Amino acid sequence: MWWAVETVTTVGYGDIVPNQTAGKIIAGFLMLGGLSLLAVVTAAITSGFVSRSEAHRLAAGEDPVMQKLDDLAAQLREVKAELEQLRPGAGAEDSP
């Protein structure tokens, strides 16, 4: 298990390693903790970039979800207009 943890954390096989089981367990936790810390820091930085990009897009009016909703609303208006043309005699009072 010691060799697996050492390899996964890319610590390497140094000249000085713990000889006792307790030392290897503590070192294993430290190595995995360091790897976890690196992942958390990377995630925090990435989250900052994503939120900044999202705020920039929203300020510029380039929100892809809102653009898609606007497109769908326009298509629905066209379909409604076509349906009203196909049903002569049906007016606005018949629609829900």
Confidence of residue 89 (pLDDT cuts 50, 70, 90): low
Query: Comparing 48 with 19, which gets the higher pLDDT?
Result: 48
Q: pLDDT tens, 25-75?
A: 898 888 889 889 989 999 999 999 999 988 888 788 777 788 899 999 999
From residue 7, give the alpha-carbon distance in Å to each of 13, 24, 29, 38, 53.
8, 13, 14, 16, 36
Q: What are the distances in angstroms from CA 21 to CA 2, 3, 72, 83, 90?
A: 9, 13, 64, 78, 85
Residue 48 pLDDT: 95
Residue 27 main-chain phi, psi, to 5 deg? -65, -40
User: Domain segments of the chain: what residues?
Assistant: 26-86
> What is the model's pTM?
0.49
